[in-house]
Every structure is written in C-alpha cells, then in structure tokens.
Structure 1
Amino acid sequence: MRIVLAPMEGVVDAPMREMLTRIGGIDQCVTEFVRVSERVLPAKVFRKISPELFNDSRTSAGTPVVLQLLGSDPQILAGNARKAVSIGANGIDLNFGCPAKTVNKSKGGAILLNEPELVHKIVWWVRQAVPDHIPVTAKMRLGYSDKLLALENASAIADAGACGLTVHARTKEEGYRPPAHWEWISKIREHLSIPVTANGEVWNWQDYQRCREVSGCDDVMIGRGLVAAPDLGLRIKALQRGDDPDHLSWEEMRLLLLQFLDMVEQQLAPKYVHGRIKQWLKMMSREYPEAMPMLQDMRALTQVEEVRRFLYQYS
C-alpha cells in the first residue's frame, strides 16, 4: 500500500519533493515532466529537473524518484529514456495526462489519448530502449474530451510492456473539477494484469479510504492533497496502523516554510523565490486557515531577504 507523490509542473519540483519526503509518509516520487521533442537532451537537462540523479535517484530522505518524460515521437523518447538511465534514472514514467493547453498543442500529454496506437508505440519503443530491470510506467487520464478510449489506452500501455499504470480519474476536459471518477479506475484495473495506481481528489484520510474502496487499488498517488497538508502521508500511515495521528502545527509549518525558502533559493533565480513561497501558502490555506492572512501580509514582498525576515518575525 504505497503513497506516491504526484508530478505537478511548477509545484512539485526538487525542493518540494525534498521537503515533503523529509516530513515522511511518501513511498515514491515522480518528477515534473522532461519535455522531449526533436533530439536526445544533454545530461544537464535531466539533472536540472531531477537533481536526485546525483543521489542514486533518491531524495535525501531515501525516497525513490522516477523520471517522467513527455513527448510524442516514440524513437526520440526512447533515446532520451536510454540517456536518462545511463546517468542514473532508476525508472521511466511516460506522461499521457498533462492537461495544459500549450503541452497538448505540441502533441504532448493528454492529447495523445486520442491515438491509442501511438500511445502503444511510445511505450513499446521506450520499453525496448532501457534494460529489463528498469521499470517503465505511465500515467494517463481517462481520456481527452470523453472516456470512450479509456480501456483501449490502458490496454495499449500494458500490452506495450509497461509494468505499472497510474490513472488520474478525470478527462482532460474535466480538468481538476470534482468529482474524480474512481469507478473508472476500477474498470481499468479489472481489465489489466499490471498494477494500477489511483489518482485524483484525495485530500484526507476519508478520501484515501474511499478512493481505495471504489478503485480497488492498493496504491494511491496524491498531488495537491500532500502539498496542502504536508503530513497527510504520515497521518494516513498512522491511521492504517490504528494509531492516533499527529498533525503539524501552524508554527511547525512556518518553520518548514523557512527551510523551503532556503531550498528554493539554491535552485531558482532570486526574482522567482518569493513566488514559490506564496504559491505554497495559497495551496496550504485549504488545510491551515492561518496561511491566507500570512499570504495577504506578504503580497508586496519580492526580495528573498525581506521574505526571510518576514517568516522569522511573523506571529
């Protein structure tokens, strides 16, 4: 029964993976996608997206990190998968779920679900390109504009040699609007012989239980729920054991924000750092009512040092 941290472009980057896996309760991470188009990318591109490649593809907490690729050319994707493995990737995940318009217009992500034969080719070429011991997995939505090809796409992925599939239980057109259709994950799981991981609209213990019950999946991938409540994985694991879960206090979260600021500062140009702190505050306001007043008070701050002083002094 694994909890997997979902890839979220511009949100769950290396500093966020580092922070959340230090807190605990997460069994695996998947990186933001590496966009592949016309050539095999240099090693520095993979390492920028996944600096964990310098650490046996693990965060400092020891949590495994799988590298995700996005593109539409099977052979070029295969070449990039081979390159990624050669510099230390311990698993390759393929993106058939990104709903972003810019990505879909360039024939990447969820738009590929309109072409199950191409989905099959992509997975097959990547599977052939990397050693047998390297897992090749995929993440898909239920479809682009409808769910008519959901089972066909899932079968295409499995038949091409993928060893696992994560299903976000909405179409591209449904975006992130509730509800997530976990019953469709159940249909897909019953249709395949490979493990299926459920994803979508898990915010708390009750959602987690219901998702597993309806989908029939042991493993659950969580994205926004873990960013909003960084200790959600720990709380789920405690409740599974029958223990009373601890909950990170707001003061503990303020101290984590300071640690996160230091991590982001090491990776991003100074002008972008304040935006990441504000982004996380906005997302955690779902779980912590204190986050929104703090965000309002720091809206005008843009310099790293003034943000740091603000976080130290805020009460």
Structure 2
Amino acid sequence: MREMLTNINDYDLCVTEFVRIIDSLLPSSVFYRLCPELHHGGKTTSGTPVRVQLLGQEPVWMAENAYRASNLGSAGIDINFGCPAKSVNKNRGGAVLLKEPEKIYQIVKEVRSAVCPTKPVTAKVRLGWDDPTHCFEIVDAVAQAGGDEIAIHARTKVDGYKAETIKWDYIHQVKEKSSIPIIANGEVWNYQDGQACLNVTQTDALMICRGALNLPNLCNVIKRNEAHMPWHHVIQLLLKFSEFEIKGDKGLYYPNRVKQWFAYLRHEYPEAKDLFVDIRSLNKAAPIVEILQRAQALAHA
C-alpha cells in the first residue's frame, strides 16, 4: 500500500505498522518483513522516506530494537503510544502508557540515546487515556526526553474513533506550549477537513491514516485541492494491489486484505459498495481478480 500510494501522492513521510517489542532483540528479518523499504535505503521507490514504528513498554528493549532498525536504514524511529486495541493495552503497550507519562519519558529517552543523532525519534500519541487535559503532560514527557516531533491523534483512548469526539482544539493548546513540532491527526477525510484541522490546530503538518484508504489520492487532495480520484483509476489500483499481494505465500491472505480495503473504499465510492457484494463470499484470489477485471472493462465502456 505504501508503494502504491506514494507513487501517486506527494507524501513527505510514511510510518510502518508497529513492530511489537516485548523482552528481546528481534532479528533483522522482522524489520525487513514489515519495512521492505529498508532494502532500498529506507525509502519507497518514489523516494518517500519510511520510518519504522515500535510499540513496547520496556525502555531498554525498545532502545535495542530502535538501534537495530536505525542501522538497517530506517529514516528515524517512531514510537506508538496511541494504539487503543485491547489486546495491545492489556499487555502494557500502546495507549495504556498514556496513563504513565514517566514511562513514556523513559522509553523516548532510551531510544533517543540509542539512535544516531541525525535520525529523528518521534512519537504518536492520543490526548490521554480518558482525560484530554493529560495531553500537556504527555507531550512534555516526549519533549523533555529528547523527542524530535510528536503526532497527536485528537481523541482519548476511551473516545475510540467516534467522529463526534474529535478535539482538534487541544492540539492547538499543546502547540502553543510545546518546544517540539506538532503534527495533527484525526478525522481528516477530504480537502475541507484538512483545511479545517490546520486552521484549528495551527500546525504545519497533518498525518492521515484511514482516510488514505478511503480516498487513494487524499494526500494530493489535501495539499493541492486535487480532484478526487475517479473510480476507474481506483479499479486500476485494486488490480495493481492484486499483483503485489498474490505473489508467493501472501496470496493466501489476499482475499481478506482486498476485502478490508473495500471496507474503506465503500465510504467514498458507491461503486465499491456494489462490487463488495460480489466478492465478499469469495475466499480465492482468482475469482476476485476476475470480478475486478470485469469491473475495469465496464468502467471504460
């Protein structure tokens, strides 16, 4: 997905899925698997830098793995303090650490000490666990530990992803007091949302996540008010995605992954809703690709 979307958008940076760190130094193969861009200088083929993201609760092991990822070529290290998943939080990872700013400080400090000074160490957080006013202490912990920048998802963990709970104004308050760059995140789905978020938060940068799967050219829509990608171009991307995912053992997971993408595309494209009905019961790659090829022919008819 990073490969495709950076080819058609002017992204400044990508961050990987998190690498879960518990109590050991992971082999290099784990980092190459989750960040194949490490084979190419830590960049996608279009030249967009990719930063490995780590998630864990033990400062020393986080530092050891950060050092390895950095030496393998990651364009910096990002630390996930925002994941709200119960399976992660019950093992003291992700957003649960928002309750412990001192632990956040220790982790960032150890990672910053371990990684080459020329490479940024950054953090992704939420406003807090259940109280958005905790964001000030959380951001201060990252800054005091030597973090280079911080991306803030403008909800608490308890808020989940409910649209009505977005609190962009807290990011503005944090930015006014912070000594490090702040990146705003949350509920940015189109050009208007992007402009509204920048206006409220007064930040210089946005991070987009789910919206980039809803609308494949969302980055350029936000940056340049580019027209939304037409459906027939989306079909071409789906077929390109199919070529990536069917290779080797990954083909076993292709049906589930393409359905996951359709779950996002349906929010932007009515055509995706209809097409999803045709593929949702299929569990083999070939018939799904055949349906996409037919859809492509109809889109050009």
SS in 1 for 2:25: coil
- Aligned 1:165-180 pairs, distance under 5 A: 165-179=150-164, 180=166
Q: Say whether 1:181 aligns with 2:167.
A: yes
RMSD in angstroms over aligned alpha carbons?
1.2
C-alpha distance in structure 2 between counterparts of 1:246 and 1:96, whole Å:
34
Residues 21-77 of structure 1, C-alpha deviations (whole Å, 9 max, x = no match): 111132110100000001010000011110010011111111111110000000110
Equivalent of 2:140, from 131, 155, 160? 155
| Preserved contact between residue 105 and residue 141 of structure 2 (Cα < 8 Å) | yes
Larger RCO, structures 1/2 (Cα 8 Å, 6+ apart): 1
C-alpha distance in structure 2 between counterparts of 1:247 and 1:99, whole Å:
30
Aligned to 1:270: 251
Q: Which runs of 4+ in 1 moved over 4 A?
A: none
Letter of the aligned partner of 2:197 in structure 1?
Answer: C
Aligned to 2:180: 194
C-alpha distance in structure 2 between counterparts of 1:18 and 1:308, whole Å:
20
C-alpha distance in structure 2 between counterparts of 1:96 and 1:311, whole Å:
38
C-alpha distance in structure 2 between counterparts of 1:249 and 1:236, whole Å:
16
Work out the percentage of aligned pairs sharing the same amino acid.
45
C-alpha distance in structure 1 between counterparts of 2:96 and 2:249, whole Å:
30
Uncovered stretches (5+) of structure 1, i.e. residues with no partner: 1-15, 240-244
| Preserved contact between residue 188 and residue 197 of structure 2 (Cα < 8 Å) | yes
Residues 236-264 of structure 1, C-alpha deviations (whole Å, 9 max, x = no match): 2223xxxxx33321111111100001112
| Preserved contact between residue 25 and residue 231 of structure 1 (Cα < 8 Å) | no
| Preserved contact between residue 183 and residue 206 of structure 2 (Cα < 8 Å) | yes
| Preserved contact between residue 25 and residue 232 of structure 1 (Cα < 8 Å) | no
Equivalent of 2:282, from 301, 304, 314? 301
Equivalent of 1:214, from 190, 200, 204? 200
1:268 CA drift (Å): 5.2
Q: As a proportion of its length, which structure holds more helix?
A: 2
Aligned to 2:263: 282
| Preserved contact between residue 170 and residue 181 of structure 1 (Cα < 8 Å) | yes
C-alpha distance in structure 2 between counterparts of 1:95 and 1:235, whole Å:
27
Equivalent of 2:78, from 74, 93, 96? 93
Aligned to 2:52: 67
1:301 CA drift (Å): 1.7
C-alpha distance in structure 2 between counterparts of 1:50 and 1:152, whole Å:
32
Number of equivalences: 295
Uncovered stretches (5+) of structure 2, i.e. residues with no partner: none
Query: What's the TM-score, normalizing by structure 1?
Result: 0.91
Query: What's the TM-score, normalizing by structure 2?
Result: 0.95
1:232 CA drift (Å): 1.5
Aligned to 1:80: 65
Aligned to 1:54: 39
Equivalent of 2:5, from 2, 14, 20? 20
C-alpha distance in structure 2 between counterparts of 1:102 and 1:126, whole Å:
24
Equivalent of 1:132, from 117, 127, 131? 117
Letter of the aligned partner of 2:217 in structure 1?
Answer: D
Q: Say whether 1:254 aligns with 2:235.
A: yes
Aligned to 1:10: none
Equivalent of 2:105, from 120, 139, 155? 120
| Preserved contact between residue 13 and residue 48 of structure 2 (Cα < 8 Å) | yes
1:267 CA drift (Å): 6.7
| Preserved contact between residue 143 and residue 170 of structure 1 (Cα < 8 Å) | yes
